[in-house]
A and B are shown apart, each in its own frame.
Chain A
Amino acid sequence: MTELHPFSAHELDTLAAVLDQVIPPSADGRLPGAGFIAHGERFGTIVGLLPGLDLGLAGGLAACDEQARKRGAADYVALADAERLAVLNDVAAIDAGFVPSLMFLAYSTYYVEDRVIAGLDLEPRPPHPQGFAMPENDLGLLDPVRARGRLWRDA
């Protein structure tokens, strides 16, 4: 197993700021931004799933800092929100793989988080053992199918 890139505290803070651009908080406040993923327990698991994802992310984050410095900021985190979006778009234009990597990380991790599930009006619980109730079947819908006769061929 190849060692994963050891993300520094600064890189994780930058990643959190970037992820909040990928999935920002919802306007109604029910859903958080995705920045929490960078400091969450599942981050390491997801980053290990795809070969090269760690290095791709690290490279993109460095590019975000570099673009931020060109705008006169100390780093990406120091930028105002609107500028963070502009820088992310700049980096996306340079590094075509960065945003898809971020999306994979964000989409696969965000939507298994309890507070997100609750924000979707679902119960944040495992499917087993409670499961879900479902309505009785309306098998009267089959009447026209039964009326058609056989479909199979003699053999």
Chain B
Amino acid sequence: MSEEPVDVLIIGAGASGAALAWSLAETRMNILCLEQGDWVKSGDYPSNQTDWELRRLGDFGFSPNDRKLASDYPVNDSESPIAASMYNGVGGSTILFAAHFPRLHPSDFRVRTLDGVGSDWPLDYRSLAPWYDLNERMTGVSGLEGDPAYPQDPPKRPPLPPLPLGQLGETLARGFNRLGWHWWPSDSAIISEDYEGRGACINAGTCITGCAQGAKSSSDVTYWPIALRSGVRIRTRARVREITLGSNGLADGVIYYDENDREQRQKAHVVVVACNGIGTPRLLLNSKSKEFPDGLANRSGLVGKNLMFHPYAMATGVFDQPLEGYKGAIGCCIMSQEFYETDARRDFVRGYSFEILRGLGPMFTALMGMGWGAVPWGKDHHGAYADLFDRTAGMVVIGEDLPEECNSITLDPDLKDANGIPAPKINYRLGENSRKLMAHGVARAREVLEASGARKVIEEPLLRVAGWHLMGTARMGRDPKTSVVNEWGRCHDVKNLFLIDGSIFPTAGAVNPTNTIQALALHVADTMKKNLANLFE
């Protein structure tokens, strides 16, 4: 393969890599993206089949350890109560995400100053707001202006009207109203009307196994088509083993395995890593050299440290009446940020969001009912199942995790991927603040469900499968001693190496991170464009 260097080499074609590639395309630079997975075609998605739910247990499952596809790498998550969920392919984890697309709050950027925990970000809400706006237009976000949980100056104006609340959403909205608590239609990366050549959402309810309709705004259908038309190239089935360092102390390219498992080199003037909060530290830790014996760009010792998930808890209400919950976007209905901000009367700092989940399909009703002990085998099976199917509504608590150095990604000494590259290992435990916060959230969720008319509430204090949001493992900051990258994603230690995924979050907030990840990628790309003449100074 080519020894000819490209101008910009992006590793990873997920949410952040796509946004940055699109933004940089206007520079006419020679831009190449290496992606270890492949394109997913509309016809490949499970929703084209009647047994679509079954494939959540197989090739469209959340965990790479369950899917075991050629494009996946294993993750040792045996030392973590939360398992890693991700997808490897063009579009990355947006292929399977639920598309809940909120912004961080202004306070999320000033956690140390306001609450004495974590770290402040080296940028603020106002400076990121234009990139949120741009990302929401590019993505096609559906939502409603005027949410009192967010500043109105600058205003947050989703370009499309909200998705249907449905009978389920309105039932829970009335419950929130009875309690006098905040709720709002979700900001959703799902188009409620035809938009930019894509057809509107058809309420199929299959978002988390991918969207055959193309209405869910995974980055393979938003940024990538435009970036490719502008000259950016993607090389799929290309798994990067390590980033190499030149004699001048700058990254000079990568070594990767191609689709035939042959070792290849690709030279580059600028290297951008966009592999998510697990894949990025894994790659840096695997890129050892004489100058960086502990991993590339790791003089701070913080690569892989401070892993943050969003711990998820769930309360499921069982109602007497049908809710038509199998219709509509599963994770995009209504949300609440009543308990988002720190309240000194509580025994924890920071807070959480509620995200309302639609009901379950026929198969997962049975499996979840089995797990809850609510659907027995034998003669009572059909009656118990009928009491549950289409009569459930879920509330998930998305808690803010605080950064702790003991929560980390390291290289597993034994586990390797199909190319022999050391696999990541998660060492994680739930902190005391998170425990208190989640317990508070589950208790409040019960109140909402009961106020909405639920006759029974089933509580799950921590969802193991919910490790979608991977943050903090190469944090952003101004001080090279306490951070890995600066305020525009450039590594302190290697001036032509940029990190742009969730790994650079100093703190996590309590909302789904993809909108912020992409807004940051656009901000980084813009800063790169403005500094092309002296990018490495």
Contact = CB atoms under 8 A, between A and B. Distances in A.
Interface in A28-44: 31, 42
Interface in A97-155: 99, 102-104, 106-114, 116-117, 120, 122, 124-139, 141-142, 144-146, 148-155
B204 interface: yes
Given A112-B50, A139-B144, A103 B377 contact: yes
A26 interface: yes
B50 A124 contact: yes
Contact of A151 (B114, B124, B149, B203): B149
Contacts of B158: none
A154 B348 CA distance: 20
Contact of B377 (A106, A139, A141): A106
Contacts of A99: 377
Given A108-B363, A148-B182, A120 B148 contact: no
Interface in B206-232: 206, 212-213
B10 to A, nearest CB: 31
B148 A153 contact: no
Chain A: number of interface residues, binned into ranges: 35 or more
B164 A135 contact: yes
Interface stretch (B165-173, B248-256, B417-425): B165-173
Given A22-B377, A42-B54, A108-B367, A31 B182 contact: no
B47 A127 contact: yes
B125 A117 contact: no
A54 to B, nearest CB: 15
Contacts of A130: 202
B203 A132 contact: yes
Contacts of B369: 107
Interface in B377-407: 377-379, 381-382, 389
B180 interface: yes
A129 B362 contact: no
Given A107-B370, A117-B50, A128-B206, A141 B177 contact: yes
B387 to A, nearest CB: 13
A39 B150 CA distance: 56
B184 A134 contact: no
A114 B52 CA distance: 12
Interface string B304-343: 0000000000000000000010111000000001101110
Chain B: number of interface residues, binned into ranges: 35 or more
B134 interface: no
A128 B49 CA distance: 8
A108 B166 contact: no
Contacts, number: 176
A24 interface: yes
B102 interface: no
Nearest to A102: B377
Contact of A104 (B113, B146, B370, B375): B370
B363 A152 contact: no
B184 A112 contact: no
Contacts of B151: 150, 152
B362 A120 contact: yes
B51 A42 contact: yes
A134 to B, nearest CB: 4
B166 A142 contact: no
Nearest to B342: A153
A62 interface: no
Interface stretch (B18-26, B86-94, B104-112, B429-437): B104-112
A150 B173 CA distance: 18
A88 to B, nearest CB: 9
B213 A129 contact: yes
Interface in B347-366: 362-363, 365-366
A31 B377 contact: no
A126 B47 contact: yes
Contacts of B183: 142, 145
B48 interface: yes
A49 interface: yes
B328 A108 contact: no
A23 interface: yes
B39 interface: no
Nearest to A19: B377
A116 B362 CA distance: 9
Interface of A: 21-24, 26-27, 31, 42, 45-46, 49, 85, 99, 102-104, 106-114, 116-117, 120, 122, 124-139, 141-142, 144-146, 148-155
For the complex of A and B, list the 10 residue pairs with the smallest distance between their C-beta atoms, beginning with the closest: A131-B202, A112-B51, A127-B204, A107-B366, A134-B164, A155-B106, A132-B327, A128-B47, A111-B363, A111-B362
30 contacts: A31-B382, A42-B51, A46-B57, A99-B377, A107-B366, A108-B367, A112-B51, A113-B51, A120-B362, A120-B389, A127-B52, A127-B204, A128-B47, A128-B48, A129-B213, A130-B202, A131-B201, A132-B328, A135-B166, A136-B164, A137-B165, A141-B173, A144-B180, A145-B148, A151-B338, A152-B150, A152-B151, A153-B341, A154-B106, A155-B114
Given A126-B50, A150-B149, A151-B149, 19 more contacts: A23-B377, A24-B379, A26-B382, A27-B382, A103-B370, A103-B377, A108-B57, A125-B50, A129-B202, A131-B204, A132-B205, A132-B327, A135-B167, A138-B170, A145-B177, A145-B182, A151-B182, A153-B341, A155-B125
Interface of B: 45, 47-54, 57-58, 105-107, 109-110, 113-114, 124-125, 144, 146, 148-151, 162, 164-167, 170, 173-174, 176-177, 180, 182-185, 201-206, 212-213, 324, 326-328, 337-338, 340-342, 362-363, 365-367, 369-370, 375, 377-379, 381-382, 389
